[in-house]
Structure 1
Amino acid sequence: MGTHDSFRDRISHRRIPIVALVTYGIALLAWVAIVGRWLPMPGGEMDAKTHISDPGVPEAMALSNGMAGIGLYLFMWGVMMIAMMYPSSVPLFRLYSKTLERTTTAGKAVRVGAFLGTYALVWTLVGVVPLVVNALVPIASLASAHGGLLMGGTLLLLSGYQLSPYKHRCLRYCRSPLGFLMSHHRPGVRGAVRMSLQFSVFCIGCCWALFAFMVIVGSMNIVWMAFLAVVLSLERTVAWGEHLARAIGLFVGAVGFVVIAISIL
């Protein structure tokens, strides 16, 4: 009981939110790089009818250029994940920083840096998944030939997961950074890496279906990226986030059925 009280005292102490400012600054730079098209694109040729924001095009371009293309794609994906995921994770980053009150400034910077870096690295590696899927089933060709069925099926997948108990179990961890730190806190740099890995798993469990939808509508479609970033941030930070997740599940499920019906008729 005494340990928990001490822990709460440390994270309730107010201070200038430097960690929050740094995190928001990094996310802002990522968004500027994306919107400004500063990121090096995976090589490859596109015909006049295709665009980098079209479904499956970035993945196809990356795969057509071997390891260099894959590396550029993962870099691009990692920047996208920082832009989309860092802002909604600021409450956890701040709370973790506040548990390090008795650590030197350098020690705190290393631990917080390890936490943020591990989080970004895990989300970057998630970019391997759309590449593997596209290697097995070319999304661009499928979207061109059966766009309605692909979109409808993806919406039903998203709906089913949004309403599933696993989604809401992971979402509760993402929505309760204090609870996560209370149950998973570990000391030292290795502890920071381990906690970040554990939190990343919950984040992936919470958001993977939304990102699957993003890949289907176009992983470099900036409008959809911004919209989904707002949705997942609201799910994770506002009081009615869990209700929003369920409402989205019901809505996209209904839309999915309509899209499939229209495609079949």
Structure 2
Amino acid sequence: MTTAGAHPRAGPRQQERGIPSPRTWTRLEFLLAGLLLALAAAAWLLTGALAMPEMSSGILTGMQPMGDGAGAVVPPAAFGFFLLTWVVMMAAMMLPAITPFMVGMRGLLGARATTGTLAALTAGYLAVWGGAGLLGYAVVRAFETTAMGGGPVAARVGAVVLLVAGGYQFTPLKRWCLVRCRSPLALVMRYAEPTADSRFGAFTVGVRHGGYCLGCCWALMAVLLAAGVMSLLWMAAVAAVITVEKTVPRPELTGRVLGALLVGLGVTLLVSPGLVPTMA
């Protein structure tokens, strides 16, 4: 006996993850995946248009202290612009990552998965990352202040960011969040009814899934802030790492390798902070 809307041809591993095999996707599910990826592509283009040159580098890539001209932008305007850009960036980086979850939810709910339901799920997910932008703004401002202390000081602070991010890869919390971010079947099954009952219920489920992904990826986002929050190159690099973590067959091994690389780079910069400009 199968759940309504589920895909009986999906293999055991795919069913464990709550993600039907692409071979079993319906036309509507392919359209849903295509729409999410198209929105992500549009968000990448918009990020490129919004990107400010002075924020394309960070304390890991030779950030220069902002001059007096920066004071021409009042703090509320700067804060609002940062949040706008941050939300667009998160849409660009995370919409591809949640596509399998959305397809799995649509397959489980079947005809009950209306456009409003799926939009509320996506909005809830992005709301979590939008909220994270509040802390992200404070971190960026702290990095700007650090850059005023000179290159070696900024480089060593950046090295600490790398060490923290690398060390987090080995923690039980990272593994716990990654398992739930990679395998959302329990979330999908448990909250299928509230998702179908109301858009608020769907929004809440999106928030829960976004919380797991934030717990999984916050340290990598800190590295992005330190490398250049509006750098398309570093955005692509971090997005690629996140995608690999969520799709490779052995995520634990991948996480440990990534953690070791981040820790090794952090130690290198602590010893030789003069290497920072070469990373730009």
Normalising by the smaller structure, the TM-score range is 0.7 to 0.9
Preserved contact between residue 51 and residue 231 of structure 2 (Cα < 8 Å):
no
Preserved contact between residue 5 and residue 110 of structure 2 (Cα < 8 Å):
no
- The equivalent residue for 1:168 is 175
Distance 1:203 1:115, change over 3 A: same
- The equivalent residue for 1:73 is 82
- The equivalent residue for 1:28 is 41
Task: Check if 1:180 corresponds to 2:200.
Answer: no
Q: Deviations over 1:206-254 (max 9, x none)?
A: 0000000110111012111101100001101221333211110011112
1:134-145, aligned counterparts within 5 Å?
134-135=140-141, 138-142=145-149, 144-145=151-152
> Mean alpha-carbon deviation: is it higher for 123-132 or for 21-30?
123-132
Matches of 2:71 and 2:142, distance apart in 1 = 14
1:104-143, aligned counterparts within 5 Å?
108-135=114-141, 138-142=145-149
Secondary structure, counterpart of 2:109 in structure 1: coil
- The equivalent residue for 1:15 is 26
TM-score (norm 1): 0.83
- The equivalent residue for 1:100 is 109
Matches of 1:200 and 1:145, distance apart in 2 = 36
Task: Check if 1:155 corresponds to 2:162.
Answer: yes
Q: 1:62 deviation in Å?
A: 9.5
Task: Check if 1:51 corresponds to 2:51.
Answer: no
Preserved contact between residue 160 and residue 249 of structure 1 (Cα < 8 Å):
yes
Match of 1:212 among 222, 229, 238: 222
Structure 2, gaps ≥5 residues long? 8-17, 275-280
Preserved contact between residue 142 and residue 150 of structure 1 (Cα < 8 Å):
no
Q: Deviations over 1:17-45 (max 9, x none)?
A: 1210110000000112223xx2275xxxx
Task: Check if 1:197 corresponds to 2:210.
Answer: no
Task: Check if 1:39 corresponds to 2:45.
Answer: no
Q: Deviations over 1:67-95 (max 9, x none)?
A: 22211110100110011111011100111
Distance 1:226 1:152, change over 3 A: same
What RMSD, in angstroms, separates the aligned Cα atoms of the two structures?
A: 2.8
Preserved contact between residue 159 and residue 267 of structure 2 (Cα < 8 Å):
yes
Structure 1, gaps ≥5 residues long? 42-49
Q: Percent identity of the aligned residues?
A: 27
TM-score (norm 2): 0.79
Residue identity matched to 2:253: H
Matches of 2:225 and 2:44, distance apart in 1 = 18
Matches of 2:150 and 2:172, distance apart in 1 = 30
Q: 1:179 deviation in Å?
A: 3.1
Residue identity matched to 1:22: L
Task: Check if 1:250 corresponds to 2:260.
Answer: yes
> Mean alpha-carbon deviation: is it higher for 165-174 or for 178-187?
178-187
Q: 1:7 deviation in Å?
A: 5.1
Matches of 1:135 and 1:258, distance apart in 2 = 25
Preserved contact between residue 33 and residue 103 of structure 2 (Cα < 8 Å):
yes
Matches of 1:216 and 1:24, distance apart in 2 = 27
Preserved contact between residue 55 and residue 139 of structure 1 (Cα < 8 Å):
no
Distance 1:178 1:66, change over 3 A: same
Matches of 1:181 and 1:171, distance apart in 2 = 16
Matches of 1:30 and 1:183, distance apart in 2 = 31
Residue identity matched to 2:131: L
Task: Check if 1:223 corresponds to 2:230.
Answer: no
